[in-house]
Structure 1
């Protein structure tokens, strides 16, 4: 942990201005070819989880609220027939994209980057007829901002109880929208000040509809911050580092060097992690351990005497609901997801997360046999598991889910399979193919509105 002396000294660094400068100056010619492909893969994943999440109860409630509030307009909602005002579309599409907790992750940010950036850009881009290239430039600017601001306040910001997707995500949405609007660095620094006073989201609401709402509000508030700054709305231009600013009020850390330093592999986007289990990302390594042990040994669950899981202590306050009673709570239960994996339940299937599965007798018995040792200072994504069977033998496995796939072609194949499984049942095969094809040529679109309209019902 940074000392008080080093923390005060580091706050003299003009971090807000520097992050704003980097976001506004990013241009198409700066982007390596692999970042274009990675952006397309983020879009494949985002549309997949948003089309499915658009059918969730929380999305129905938000759409109903918007209609009752008279917020109808011309902005497209993903996988819906209704249309709303752009700011409301950012809110609803953002919440829908995080509804299933099946969206991508970046550990530099400490949360979910794409769900805060894409909804704001689609709403704004459809309104101003932004090109696909401008969309990609703006997406990368927003994504990289998420990593910089996340590293600035980690790890105590998250440890204090703030949901980074809702807080840091507001800055990434602001940077993306500001880049699309053509703000200069001083305007964007002011927009960050507007964003800072709106950024919010509490981890205590994990397992409820408020967690996905955080993603939606971050996107909506980021879009609003950028648009207000463009009109001359005022705010402090040093909101990240100033006394009583974002970092000072919400973190014990101020890691300016980490925020402004070179990301691993040169870009934060290169360290994006996709989900292939429809649950909290910190459950993924334990799920993989359980799957490996089950598939290698092929034992019936009744033979299990004891399950020991070792995992980073941070997971205790994120996904350690011991006795879940709903599908949402199941996504944040280490015991539940491990028991599901050990009994062969498909943890990638959305229908696996229901109240009924939490009451399944074999699942409950396995949950009760599981002990968790929370390890301080472990990698967030590392898990070790030991399972003792009724003959006294012990089976072990370990897995680190925080390592990006090195093979982009293989990753695309996995994401296309995920896309087809989530989108086709909702839109139909022809519409799903049309949406996928539009994503593939996003860099050639004259109007990004074509992309979001391809996802409508």
Structure 2
């Protein structure tokens, strides 16, 4: 059986019952990314993208529009908003910002077809599983080559989740995956630009589009994921590799339980987070005067160094992909917050003075470290003006399953993002509703929080 056929049969199987722990993990992820979505609604990329959309009425709420619009367009805008602050979760082994595309797509499509919250959660778990299984086929070479997996693998995951929500049968699911393969694209070259958050929006848009096209009778080639000219071949160079059948739930644990999601505590590229965590540990433990720093060295896996390519960022967006800037913020102010990624913060003299003293290095990884879901560990050191060198090693980024956010941190992050951005909806009841999402009677009140106020 082809991987396309195997995934299609599994995704269309509505007899599968997911565990309470899987549903709870989905609730946590959905709540987290909805906060990020609300927090990103005023970002320039979101506002500008909203201006490009048609204004005719539809059935889904978008953060740039007062009235509901078509679900696919709402998904694109809301996906961009969810990813705009780079505050949303990461998912391995797909190496995607999975929730930033899945949740906006399923919320928009769910609102349009009046799906239940429970059905949305089931579809979310399905979409995450597809991302994981395809990610295992093509990574690390896919991501290392320069593809932004959020926009490539993410499209396939959203397509499967959307088809699940539309209750397509195995054949419909099969052709959904086929169509989605032809819609997947996006380069990491866009990191630091407005297009980068749009990649999550494109995955949301194209995933819904693929499912809608398949539902309307569009058919495609069955074997698009493995073999010559397939996704695996074209996007990872391993199409001729022999691929054994994959093990899927209930014969194997679900990806959401095996890998979990890595929630963020800092609104910057996750490649910076091990460095931030290590520098925070040095700052908090040794209590040195940051104005006495002569040098800061951060040793990271090679792909993280490549992602953090802006040594002297010129815009807040570039600053999210700058270890130099994130290190300066961390050492001078503590944990980076959304307010640090503004034009006013970027030009602060103390940040500008410290950034040139930050040096990134590629750290050779042991087999054990390289086998971690995020690809390695970090060693950070600071040199003081009296010659002292302080050093630490960091392995588990804050927010990963081995170092999770506390419920207090989850709430603080959500409220920071949503306060003043929830279109008049009270923030605490919204957080509580999302945290128990499957048991809500409808998504009406949650969708209302997204609409632009009059």
- Aligned-residue offset at 1:319: 1.5
Which of 407, 420, 438 aligns to 2:433? It is 438
- Aligned-residue offset at 1:179: 0.6
1:255-292 deviations in Å (ceiling 9; x for gaps): 776982479x9332232110000000010110111111
- Aligned-residue offset at 1:428: 7.5
Distance 1:149 1:435, change over 3 A: same
Conservation of the 8 A alpha-carbon contact between 2:425 and 2:449: no
Matches within 5 A, 1:51-450: 51-66=38-53, 69-78=54-63, 81-253=66-238, 260-261=246-247, 266-270=253-257, 271-347=260-336, 349-377=337-365, 379=370, 380-402=375-397, 404-405=400-401, 411-427=406-422, 431-450=426-445
Conservation of the 8 A alpha-carbon contact between 1:24 and 1:141: no
Moved over 4 A (4+): 254-259
How many residue pairs match? The answer is: 439
Gap regions ≥5 residues in structure 1: 1-12
- Aligned-residue offset at 1:407: 8.3
Could you say what secondary structure the match of 2:427 adopts? helix
Greater CA drift, 209-218 or 368-377: 368-377
> How many angstroms apart in 2 are the aligned matches of 1:200 and 1:272?
23
1:16 aligns to what?
4
- Aligned-residue offset at 1:445: 3.2
> How many angstroms apart in 1 are the aligned matches of 2:433 and 2:411?
13
- Compute the TM-score of the two structures, normalised by the length of structure 1: 0.90
Conservation of the 8 A alpha-carbon contact between 2:340 and 2:346: no
- Aligned-residue offset at 1:170: 0.2
Alpha-carbon RMSD across the aligned residues, in angstroms, is 2.3
Distance 1:427 1:80, change over 3 A: farther
- Aligned-residue offset at 1:72: 3.5
> How many angstroms apart in 2 are the aligned matches of 1:123 and 1:162?
26
> How many angstroms apart in 2 are the aligned matches of 1:430 and 1:117?
23
Distance 1:330 1:258, change over 3 A: farther
- Aligned-residue offset at 1:157: 0.9
Conservation of the 8 A alpha-carbon contact between 2:64 and 2:77: no
- Compute the TM-score of the two structures, normalised by the length of structure 2: 0.90
Distance 1:251 1:337, change over 3 A: same
> How many angstroms apart in 1 are the aligned matches of 2:389 and 2:403?
34
Gap regions ≥5 residues in structure 2: none
Choose between structure 1 and 2: higher helix proportion.
1
Distance 1:83 1:262, change over 3 A: closer
> How many angstroms apart in 2 are the aligned matches of 1:361 and 1:345?
16
> How many angstroms apart in 2 are the aligned matches of 1:418 and 1:208?
24
Conservation of the 8 A alpha-carbon contact between 2:46 and 2:64: no
Could you say what secondary structure the match of 1:76 adopts? coil
Distance 1:237 1:212, change over 3 A: same
> How many angstroms apart in 1 are the aligned matches of 2:66 and 2:429?
17
Could you say what secondary structure the match of 2:60 adopts? strand
Could you say what secondary structure the match of 2:38 adopts? helix
- Aligned-residue offset at 1:163: 0.4
- Aligned-residue offset at 1:417: 1.5
Distance 1:189 1:262, change over 3 A: closer
- Aligned-residue offset at 1:204: 0.5
Q: Does residue 30 in structure 1 map to residue 30 in structure 2?
A: no
- Aligned-residue offset at 1:127: 1.4
Conservation of the 8 A alpha-carbon contact between 1:73 and 1:85: yes
